[in-house]
Amino acid sequence: MTQTVGEAADARQQVTRASGPPQDRSSHSPPTNRVIRIIELLASPQQPPLSLAEIVRRTGLSRATAHAIVGELIEHGWVLRDSKTGAFTVGPAFAALARATGSADNVARWASTCAHELSDRFDLAAFVAQRIAPDLITVTDHVVPARSRDREESPWFRHGRQVRLRPPICREFIAYESAESQAAWIAQAPDSIRSRLRQVLQTVAERGYSIERMTDDHVAMIEALGTLDSVSDRLRARVGDLLTELSAIDYLPAELDGEVAAVTVGAPIIDSSGLVVASIVVCPNTTLPAADLRTLAEAVHAAASSISARLR
């Protein structure tokens, strides 16, 4: 393989509007658009090397334009030309860039952007919870409205906070798991609330978000659940059971009527394997009309779904 194209430099000097197809009127930058078309073509999954004639045919570009672009891409290592066949394929520099981009934490970045947009739109606190182990999440970003920034930051959604996926919290992470995984999760809860948890998980999966009901002891419950890793297994299980029995778990459809009290609304981000890898959570932390809560919840769900779509 060689990174030369022969007459690329001369070909670049011959490009004229008369020699090519009609200009890309819909593009803000037609030259950029043409480069992207060639890169997307060569980088398509399982794409074999292509001749210049095939690139011209499949992109609709003139031969001179395609030749000039390919020559420039070769100089930057984004394209390679086989010296024997003359066919072109993606080069090492492009592959290295793709690997670097792929290894970046895009989910956290995209979710953070959505959380900030939702916070601005609804004037509410929001955060991103990301899965870092099968049964553990951490807060990777949070945002507080300007009106609340002079207050002490809430300890239960501060950056870096870790929480175990234990009943009854983090339901949006469990609602899309296999039946076996859900059963194992529910088995950690007291017998008295297991039936409720099954109904709630089905509801969360159907509507696309969980709602944390607001109670006087909600913050204390989250704080306690977050510190249980430091105690013995027996004591951790007992304290968790007591806290769960004291909590009101989510809202079923018939219960979302009139005025409702909600601490958080969380929507899942689901990867191509069907695993919930993160969630976007907005925090009304107040009582509001059920219709307003649905509007908020649907916006959170739409934001999370837009990221899930990118991961498929």
CATH code at position 153 = 3.30.450.40
Q: So what's the pLDDT on residue 4?
A: 38
> Is 167 contained in some domain?
yes
Q: So what's the pLDDT on residue 290?
A: 96
Same domain, 86 and 202: no
Question: Which domain does 88 fall in, by range?
Answer: 8-102
How many domains, the chain? Answer: 2
Rounded to an integer, the average pLDDT of 231-259 is 69
Q: Is the pTM of this model over 0.95?
A: no
Residues 226/165, Cβ–Cβ less than 8 Å: no
The residue among 260, 167, 246 whose CA lies nearest residue 211 is: 260
Considering only residues 215 and 30, tell me which one the structure prediction assigns the higher pLDDT: 30
Q: So what's the pLDDT on residue 30?
A: 86
**Does the pLDDT of residue 243 top 90, yes or no?**
no
The residue among 273, 266, 10, 41 whose CA lies nearest residue 163 is: 266
Cα distance between residue 280 and residue 163, in whole Å: 15
Average pLDDT value over all residues in the chain: 81
**Does the pLDDT of residue 2 top 50, yes or no?**
no
CATH code at position 86 = 1.10.10.10
> Is 32 contained in some domain?
yes
Q: Using the 3D structure, point to which of 102, 119, 150 is the last residue of a domain.
A: 102
Q: So what's the pLDDT on residue 68?
A: 95
**Does the pLDDT of residue 130 top 70, yes or no?**
yes
> Is 114 contained in some domain?
yes
Amino acid at position 304, single letter: A
> Is 171 contained in some domain?
yes
**Cα–Cα distances in angstroms (integers) from residue 281 to residues 5, 64, 209, 255, 261, in the given order:** 52, 52, 9, 21, 16
Same domain, 274 and 164: yes
User: What confidence tens digit (pLDDT) does each residue in 88-118 have?
Assistant: 999 888 877 776 665 557 899 999 999 999 9
> Is 165 contained in some domain?
yes
Same domain, 87 and 183: no
Residues 199/305, Cβ–Cβ less than 8 Å: no
Same domain, 188 and 297: yes
Spatial CB neighbours of 70, under 8 Å, sequence gap ≥ 6: 5, 8, 38, 52, 55, 79, 81, 88
Q: Using the 3D structure, point to which of 102, 127, 157 is the last residue of a domain.
A: 102
> Is 1 contained in some domain?
no
Same domain, 148 and 182: yes
Percent of the chain with pLDDT over 90: 52
Same domain, 123 and 189: yes
Same domain, 286 and 201: yes
Q: So what's the pLDDT on residue 237?
A: 54
Residues 307/269, Cβ–Cβ less than 8 Å: yes
Look at the chain and count its residues.
312
Rounded to an integer, the average pLDDT of 21-49 is 79
Q: So what's the pLDDT on residue 270?
A: 95
Determine which of 156-160, 269-273, 308-312 has the lowest per-residue pLDDT on average: 156-160
Q: So what's the pLDDT on residue 309?
A: 95
Same domain, 266 and 193: yes
Spatial CB neighbours of 306, under 8 Å, sequence gap ≥ 6: 114
User: What confidence tens digit (pLDDT) does each residue in 179-189 have?
Assistant: 999 999 999 98
pLDDT band per the 50, 70, 90 thresholds, residue 269: very high
> Is 305 contained in some domain?
yes
Q: Using the 3D structure, point to which of 56, 82, 102 is the last residue of a domain.
A: 102
Same domain, 149 and 263: yes
Same domain, 169 and 270: yes
Q: So what's the pLDDT on residue 166?
A: 87
Spatial CB neighbours of 19, under 8 Å, sequence gap ≥ 6: 62, 64, 65
Same domain, 74 and 122: no
> Is 212 contained in some domain?
yes
Same domain, 154 and 243: yes
pLDDT band per the 50, 70, 90 thresholds, residue 272: confident
Rounded to an integer, the average pLDDT of 265-276 is 94
Most distant pair of Cα atoms in the chain: their distance: 80
